[in-house]
Structure 1
């Protein structure tokens, strides 16, 4: 977990619900592909299938994991999020520099800041219940507010896949 070496951690007490660790993370540079989509018109699988063969062209990866990034509108928490709500989705890997990125890929810089990092275990079909807990229960009672930075999931190189109940990923929520 070398990617965490420059982060500062704050631990929170444990309850019956999943609680995050609070992390201060420096800027993160990603190389990948993006598309605008909604949950009703979800093209995540196609995005990852397109990125797959291109990953071998990236020679300056900073870790062996993958990043699934969502960029929402600034008023994300003040409007209803429906299956038709559009957002920008990225499939990406972390890189040490934005130089020498294959021309087929784009660069996304995620600004430094504070994050609530949850460990999610389960399938993507069950993720909605988890997200509902995070945004409707944990966040309002946490003392934090949602920040207007990308949200993302980090999947380690041993990630089992989106349909595996034992699959684990880190869910990074931008907070202030």
Structure 2
């Protein structure tokens, strides 16, 4: 099955839009419909990639994650600085750290088995545990929205397991 690459990144400056939601009350489509037409207003993008980020409550234990767990969802791009922020955009500094990066190919609707594999198979068998930092996906040039040939990178924040 999927084997991730382990990457350590520096902090990233992000600019975009956010919304509060849960998986049961999924507002991702509305968020991106609001963000995508206005992203051209951001003049200092690092690249053309779009970042879809989830910011969870710091007290969340992922064993307790449900369809009703409320979190912040972001549609954003990485920027060089926060000097020019369009009126309808917000800023976020993504803390650096270690991530397990999985390449996902398929539609968002078919992601469930991959999510289950990452959190219920790969993670428990690995030397890592989920770290309490934002999770994100990079929607790069191979991302095609609802196309089964679409590709994106799934970035899961990790740290070495703490001894019992």
Q: Which bracket does the TM-score occupy, shorter chain normalised? A: over 0.9
Q: Which residue of 2 aligns with 1:65?
A: 49
Q: Distance in 2 between matches of 1:67 and 1:136?
A: 24
Scaled by the length of structure 2, what TM-score is found? 0.93
Query: Equivalent residues in 2 for 1:77-156 (5 A)?
Result: 77-156=61-140
**Residue of structure 1 in register with 2:162 after alignment:** none
Alignment coverage as a number of residue pairs: 159
CA RMSD in angstroms, aligned pairs only: 1.2
Deviation for aligned residue 1:141: 1.0
Match of 1:164 in 2: 147
**Per the alignment, do residues 78 and 43 of structure 1 end up closer, same or farther by CA in structure 2, a change over 3 Å counting?**
closer
More displaced 10-residue stretch of structure 1: 116-125 or 96-105: 96-105
TM-score norm. by structure 1 comes to 0.86
SS in 2 for 1:145: strand
Structure 1 gaps, min length 5? 1-16
Is this contact kept in 2: 1:154–1:169, CA < 8 A?
yes
C-alpha distance after superposition, 1:145-166 (max 9, x if no partner): 11111000001134211x2111
Contact 1:66 1:157 in 2 (8 A): no
SS of residue in 2 equivalent to 1:138: helix
**Which has the larger share of strand?**
2
Structure 2 gap ranges (5+): 160-164
Shift of 1:100: 0.7
